[in-house]
Amino acid sequence: MLKSLTVENYALIEKTDVQWNQGFSVITGETGSGKSILLGALGLIQGQRADTKALKDPEKKCVVEAEFDLSAYALQPFFEENDLDYEETCIIRREIAPNGKSRAFINDTPVALTALKEITSHIIDIHSQHETLLLNEGAFQLHVLDAYANLKERLSAYSALYGEYAAKKRRLKELRTSLEERNANRDYLEFQLKQLHDAGFSANEQAELEEEINVLSHTSEMKDALSKTTWLLSDKEENICGSLKEVTSALSSIAQFSESFAEMQRRADSCLIELKDLSREIEQKLADVNVDPQRLEQVSQRLDLIYTLEKKHHAESLQALLEIQASFEQQLEEMDNSEETTELMEREIAQMEAQLETMAKAISQKRQEAKPLLEESVENILHSLGIPNAKLEVRIEPLAQLEASGKDSVRFFFAANKNATLLPISNVASGGELSRIMLALKSILCRTEELPTVILDEIDTGVSGEVADKMGALMQAMGEKMQVISITHLPQIASKGATHYKVYKEDDETTTHSRIKRLSEAERVTEIAQMLSGSALSDAAVQNAKELLKQS
């Protein structure tokens, strides 16, 4: 329910703050007084496009703020999904800066316009001539029938299962497409994997082979160096080991005279032992180093294979190549598993489809049962609203496949005149008839579901007299279930409002202002009397106004 609306610096409004009541309220005022300005301000709250031309003072920002009571709308999930704090009293604010930038807030938290549009779609419904175009949409017509048939819980369960069903079908399609693409590549993958498997690489093989080929490629240099080292250490006539042995002998002869000489001897002995050990090791290495052209060829070929496959698969190392091999193995395994997964998903989808068919059949049955009752209800209301020969036919046609709303197509066919051919509503109904049809449908909907605040913008266009009185009574009855605000030019409807607001213009020395005020009982009499007779009030008009208010 809309509790208050504050508008600053918008169109002809400098600042206004309106408190709204429950039930049925009316707004009256002369043409051009600014009633449409209120709708424009509410349009900003609904997330509509902002225009700096609407700023009364182009140097100041425009602010529109609306306070809503959300206790009847079960909107906690919306607040959770959008990371907003939920409160039963919700304040929605829109600001338009002079530079054209717009900001939106829900309970003082900045939000995107998409969030603004989503939340306001649940809490406020502005009906205009343009909104009657909804009547031509099959989705809206289906919604009306479903609400009348009290299918909310059934459709909620069906919709939840259908969402899973549709998602699973999409995943199956994606899986099949992926599988087809992979299978088209399967022979190539298997060939690549076989080539890598046949190579039989091990993790450290490349480093070991590169070290080995380095040795094999320099055998002659190593033999020469080792031979020379052996000769210098042991084989030369005055070799290093022999000379060092003489050193140890000389130091041994004086070791008894000083501990420092004894230490020198021990160090020389240690060096001699180390050099002899080194000499024997070098001799062994010399014996082991042999030129082996065949092994050199084998290692070269093996490394060439590694380098070729690394280049082919754009691998920077043998480890990366082994990871590619593992990836090929995984892809082929997934292909094998995908076929099993596909079969399982097909079975699950078939089961879900069978369940949905059963649910859709039950929903269709309920729609068929509600169809004649809805037709009769709408016709009765339209007869009372001045279309005595109104005939509505709800046509339900089966669909070839399941849809999110079931398995039915629903279209409303209408005739306003006696024995006229029934045609789609958009083909036969005039603007005034469309407004009355929409009013009839909304009055029915308010009995069956929790509708948001409804603002009716001159829905009474084209009617007068007794029909206007009955339209007012219908709105009044709707106001017992919900908040209804009607902008009207008809005194018969204005008199039915529990609360009456007047929009008017007022000039000062520099500009014109649009203002809105809540009328007292005395002011209501004057306003309705003027609507009856014009600006020149007569006693008869005042008396008629009092009588209208008394009847309401």
Tens of pLDDT, residue by residue over 209-264, are 888 788 777 777 888 888 898 888 888 888 888 888 988 999 888 888 889 989 99
**Tens digits of residue pLDDT in 296-313:** 888 888 899 989 998 999
Closest alpha carbon to 55 in 95, 99, 11, 17: 11
pTM of this prediction exceeds 0.75: no
Structure tokens at 387: 């279309």
Phi, then psi, of 234 in degrees rounded to 5: -135, -30
Position 4 confidence tier, pLDDT thresholds 50, 70, 90: very high
Hey, what amino acid is at 244? L
Read off the pLDDT of each residue in 425-453 and give the average, rounded to a whole number: 77
Read off the pLDDT of each residue in 316-344 and give the average, rounded to a whole number: 84
- Asked whether 453 and 45 are in contact (CB, 8 A), the reply is no
Q: What is the pLDDT of residue 437?
A: 86
Position 359 confidence tier, pLDDT thresholds 50, 70, 90: very high
Q: Is the pLDDT of residue 399 over 70?
A: yes
Q: What is the mean pLDDT of the chain?
A: 87
Instruction: Give the domains, in start order, of the chain with CATH numbers.
Output: 1-128+451-519 (3.40.50.300), 187-333 (no CATH)
- Asked whether 325 and 197 are in contact (CB, 8 A), the reply is yes
Q: What is the pLDDT of residue 449?
A: 65
- Cα–Cα separations (whole angstroms), residue 213 to 217, 219, 336: 6, 10, 42
Interhelix angle for 205-216 vs 219-230, to 10°? 60
